[in-house]
């Protein structure tokens, strides 16, 4: 949530920062700003030059003057927390003398208290943001070096931050610090970058250093050093980013959402690659850090995630129960951490997250670890906070997901859960024959996904048919229910059509009252042991003149329309049944002229509570 990018080197900094902001815009897009260090005149430090704009990065770009030269700068794209989107509240923020500039991701919890104290001492605030207190604290710090000034200011601050700081009197450096909000350094040739996300760096360098919480860094054009907020030096070992810059581009598609939906056959192929062991009809997941004896000792599994990742976790829990016969359930991490959960030593906890940054998930992991639990991560972004905090886990290898609305990562996360469930099952009581059956099913997935995607024109036609709905119901039973929930979330996020998901079995307990021709239902109807039950639910809807779009393995007579998807093994069907509904949501939103990659009020990584 919010994006930071900074540069120090020899190149003209403004175009570099604006390009970096474009790449980070998916993290927040209500206002943006840039500050650079101007050229120093004889004997005088260069003053800071700043431009800010409410709206998208393109609005900022239009405001940047032609003469805006400099080789050091920091920039920010915002998702509002404290104060409405406006020029004043956009970052960077400056002190009264225009000497200190700060960009900040995260939330300063004691901002009101600090603001009151600073105001009483005569400081005039120009914005409503929590960040501005940090600027004034740095400006007032008595220390001699910028590093010490920042450290002194941070001592007063409670909360989360990823910050980058410029100071006109120390214009040979950028000082950055991290606590709970990602900060990545990009190491170039006689130039250094900093960003909240590698997406802003990979076009220039793939050599990166990810700061830990409690770590700071000083970037100069020729070198960098890292140290703790207490001042002791730390060792920073650069790693190479797995993905090329092109992976972050739209690659010929009109939106990232369409690109990411279209990539799913390859993405699933990637999560399977090198993991299947035909000899023992099982899979190997390298980073689990859970040996066979420990796996046999697990009595329960609790999966924690938010939004789409929570839905993927719900399917994961079912896969674990079906294949490994271990009681498992999923819960929103955001709720779990606030209910003083009973942490049981025989329960294995799994944190699920695309970004690996979601604050509610990270905080749940930290709370669990504090209570001595073992926590695995199922994460997409390599080296992210949750991946690093977990005791082990697996990456889902979906590749960079830029659209705010998650699609390919959902699919890959569910496949990763299928692998994990198979692994646990084969350590316990799943037979060789069943192991082989699931492996064969997994191998069929990429081709079946391509088959579903080839049906896009028909799905687009159906989307146009239902785009007039003010509200939609999504139903499914057992395996189909989390698919219905995820499909309903997709539709509302991207099209803003109200959508509800219910277990089909619950219809008659209340929601049936909503059914009428203007409230269409999407029914998930797999060819499994619940087929007749699902047909009965459709019957109930038809009897109330409801329109039905079914996603099924064969044409459903009770439905007005059916999207037919290829059949896999019963346990793996949920992986495929959601994919046409991603396209359905996409085409509905497109027909309605929505801003598909950046839905209103949302941002990709929710790094605040
Ligand atoms: O990065 P995470 O998977 O932890 O994110 C969790 C949710 O914020 C995320 O899935 C959100 O619901 C998406 N907008 C779904 O499309």
Among residues 453, 482, 497, which one ends one of the domains?
453
- Give the whole-angstrom CA distance, residue 419 versus residue 308: 19
Residue 605, domain member (yes or no):
no
Mean pLDDT, residues 164-172: 95
Of 183-187, 452-456, 595-599, the range with the lowest mean pLDDT is: 595-599
Q: Does any ligand 1 atom lie closer than 6 A to the CB of residue 597?
A: no
CATH code where residue 69 lies = 3.60.20.10
Angle at 505 between CA 499 and CA 508, to 5 degrees: 80
Pocket probe mutation, ligand 1, options 496, 606, 608, 609, max atoms within 8 Å of Cβ = 606
Atom 7 of ligand 1, residue of closest alpha carbon: 307
404 and 485 both lie in a single domain: no
Q: What is the mean pLDDT of residues 398-424?
A: 97
365 lines ligand 1 (CB under 6 A): no
Q: Please indicate whether residue 81 or residue 479 has the higher confidence score (pLDDT).
A: 479
Same domain, 442 and 486: no
Which residues have a catalytic role annotated? 2, 604
Ligand 1 touching residue 379 (CB < 6 A): no
CB of 488 within 6 A of ligand 1: the answer is no
Reported confidence tier of residue 508, pLDDT bands at 50, 70, 90? confident
In a domain, 521, yes or no: yes
Partners of 217 in the β-ladder: 176, 226
Query: Quick check: is 603 in a domain?
Result: no
User: Does residue 502 contact residue 511 with C-beta atoms inside 8 Å?
Assistant: yes
* Same domain flag for 228 and 254: no
Sign of the dihedral through C-alpha 440, 442, 446, 450: positive
Of 453, 479, 504, which residue is a domain's last? 453
Q: Is residue 604 part of a domain?
A: no
Confidence bin at 410 (pLDDT 50/70/90): very high
**pLDDT band for position 608 (50/70/90)?**
confident
CA of 600 to the centre of ligand 1 (A): 15
pLDDT score for 538: 96
Q: CATH no. for residue 561?
A: 3.40.50.10490
Q: What is the pTM of this model?
A: 0.87
Do 438 and 521 have their domain in common? no
- State which of 196, 231, 248 marks the end of a domain: 248
Confidence of residue 255 (pLDDT cuts 50, 70, 90): very high
CA dihedral 124, 130, 131, 134 (to 10 degrees): 70
Per-residue pLDDT tens digits for 175-194: 999 998 899 999 999 999 99
Which range among 80-84, 104-108, 552-556 shows the weakest confidence by mean pLDDT? 80-84
> Average of pLDDT values for 531-549?
94
On whether both 225 and 290 belong to a single domain, the answer is no
For residue 186, being part of any structural domain is answered with yes
- pLDDT tens by residue, 268-283: 999 999 999 999 999 9
Question: Looking at the structure, do residues 474 and 351 belong to the same domain, yes or no?
Answer: no
350 CB within 6 A, ligand 1 = no
Intra-chain end-to-end CA distance of the chain, in Å: 11
Lowest mean pLDDT among 77-86, 180-189, 264-273, 283-292: 77-86
Q: Are residues 57 and 149 in the same domain?
A: yes
Contact of 402 with 199, CB cutoff 8 Å: yes
Cα-to-centroid distance, 410 and ligand 1 (Å): 9
Mean pLDDT of all residues in 437-458? 98
Angle, CA 166 vertex, CA 165 and CA 172 arms, to 5°: 125
Quote the pLDDT of residue 40.
64
Residue whose token pair is 């020729």: 222
Query: Is 378 a member of any domain?
Result: yes
Mean pLDDT of 276-291: 94
Same domain? For 459 and 447 the reply is no
**Which residue among 337, 351, 358, 586 is best mutated to probe the pocket of ligand 1, counting the most ligand atoms within 8 A of its Cβ?**
358
Is residue 264 in some structural domain? yes
Residue pLDDT, tens place only, 294-351: 999 999 999 999 999 999 999 999 999 999 999 999 999 999 988 889 999 999 999 9
pLDDT at 150 over 90: yes
Domain residues for 413?
250-453
Residue 590, classified by CB atoms within 10 Å of its CB into exposed (0-12), middle (13-18) or buried (19+), is buried
Total number of domains in the chain: 3
Interhelix angle for 111-120 vs 131-140, to 10°?
50
> Are 268 and 331 within one domain?
yes
- Please work out whether the CB of residue 361 comes within 6 Å of at least one atom of ligand 1: yes
For 30, the token pair is: 């209500």
Residues 411 and 327 in one domain: yes
Residue-averaged pLDDT of the chain = 94
Closest-lying ligand 1 atom to the alpha carbon of residue 305: 4
Per-residue pLDDT tens digits for 22-58: 998 877 778 999 999 977 666 566 789 999 999 989 9
Is residue 85 reached through a cis peptide bond, with omega within 30 degrees of 0 on the bond before it? no
The pLDDT of residue 604 is 80
Q: Could you tell me if 392 and 255 lie in one domain? A: yes
Given a cut of 90, is residue 590 above it in pLDDT? yes
Based on the fold, state whether residues 47 and 139 are members of the same structural domain. yes
- Tell me, yes or no, whether 608 lies in a domain: no
């Amino acid at each position: 949530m919010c994006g930071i990018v900074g540069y120090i080197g020899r190149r003209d900094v403004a175009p570099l920062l604006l390009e970096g902001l474009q790449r980070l815009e998916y993290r927040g897009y209500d206002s943006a700003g840039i500050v650079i260090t101007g050229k120093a005149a004889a004997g005088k430090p260069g003053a800071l030059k700043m431009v800010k704009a409410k709206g998208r990065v393109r609005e900022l770009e239009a405001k940047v003057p032609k003469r805006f030269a400099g080789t050091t700068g920091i920039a920010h794209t915002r998702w509002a927390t404290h104060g409405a989107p406006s020029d004043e509240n956009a970052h960077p923020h400056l002190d009264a003398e225009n000497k200190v500039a700060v960009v900040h991701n995260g939330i300063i919890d004691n901002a009101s208290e600090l603001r009151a104290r600073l105001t009483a001492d005569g400081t005039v605030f120009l914005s409503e943001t929590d960040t501005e207190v940090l600027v004034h604290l740095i400006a007032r710090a008595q220390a001699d070096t910028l590093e010490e000034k920042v450290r002194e200011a941070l001592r007063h601050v409670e909360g989360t931050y990823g910050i980058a700081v410029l100071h006109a009197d120390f214009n040979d450096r950028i000082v950055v610090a991290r606590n709970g909000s990602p900060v990545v350094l990009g190491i170039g040739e006689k130039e250094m970058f900093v960003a909240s996300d590698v997406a802003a760096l990979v076009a220039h360098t793939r050599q990166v250093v990810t700061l830990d919480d409690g770590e700071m860094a000083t970037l100069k054009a020729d070198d960098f050093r890292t140290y703790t907020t207490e001042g002791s030096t730390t060792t920073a070992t650069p790693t190479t980013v797995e993905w090329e810059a092109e992976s972050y581009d739209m690659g010929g598609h009109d939106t990232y959402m369409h690109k990411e939906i279209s990539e799913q056959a390859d993405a699933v192929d990637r999560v399977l690659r090198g993991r299947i062991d035909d000899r023992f009809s099982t899979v190997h997941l390298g980073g689990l850090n859970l040996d066979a004896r420990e796996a046999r000792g697990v009595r329960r599994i609790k999966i924690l995630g938010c939004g789409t990742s929570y839905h993927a976790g719900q399917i994961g829990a079912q896969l674990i129960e079906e294949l490994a016969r271990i009681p498992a359930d999923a819960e929103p991490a955001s709720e779990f951490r606030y209910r003083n959960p009973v942490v049981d030593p025989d329960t294995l906890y799994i944190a699920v997250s695309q970004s690996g940054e979601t604050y509610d998930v990270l905080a749940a992991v930290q709370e669990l670890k504090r209570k001595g639990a073992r926590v695995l991560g199922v994460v997409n972004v390599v080296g992210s906070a949750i991946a690093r905090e977990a005791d082990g886990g697996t990456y889902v290898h979906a590749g960079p997901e830029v659209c705010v609305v998650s699609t390919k990562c959902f699919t890959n996360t569910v496949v990763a859960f299928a692998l994990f469930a198979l692994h646990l099952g084969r350590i316990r009581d799943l037979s060789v024959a069943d192991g082989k059956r699931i492996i064969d099913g997994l191998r069929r997935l990429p081709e079946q996904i391509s088959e579903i995607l080839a049906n896009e024109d028909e799905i687009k036609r159906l989307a146009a048919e239902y785009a007039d709905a003010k509200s939609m119901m999504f139903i499914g039973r057992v395996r189909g229910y989390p698919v219905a929930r995820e499909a309903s979330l997709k539709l509302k996020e991207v099209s803003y059509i109200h959508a509800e998901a219910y277990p089909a079995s619950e219809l008659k307990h209340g929601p049936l009252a909503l059914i009428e021709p203007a409230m269409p239902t999407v029914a998930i109807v797999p060819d499994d042991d619940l087929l007749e039950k699902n047909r009965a639910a459709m019957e109930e809807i038809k009897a109330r003149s409801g329109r039905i779009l079914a996603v099924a393995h064969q044409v459903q007579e009770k439905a007005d329309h059916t999207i037919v998807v290829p059949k896999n093994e019963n346990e793996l069907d949920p992986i495929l049944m959601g994919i046409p509904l991603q396209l359905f949501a996409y085409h509905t939103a497109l027909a309605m002229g929505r801003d598909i990659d950046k839905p209103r009020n949302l941002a990709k990584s929710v790094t605040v509570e």
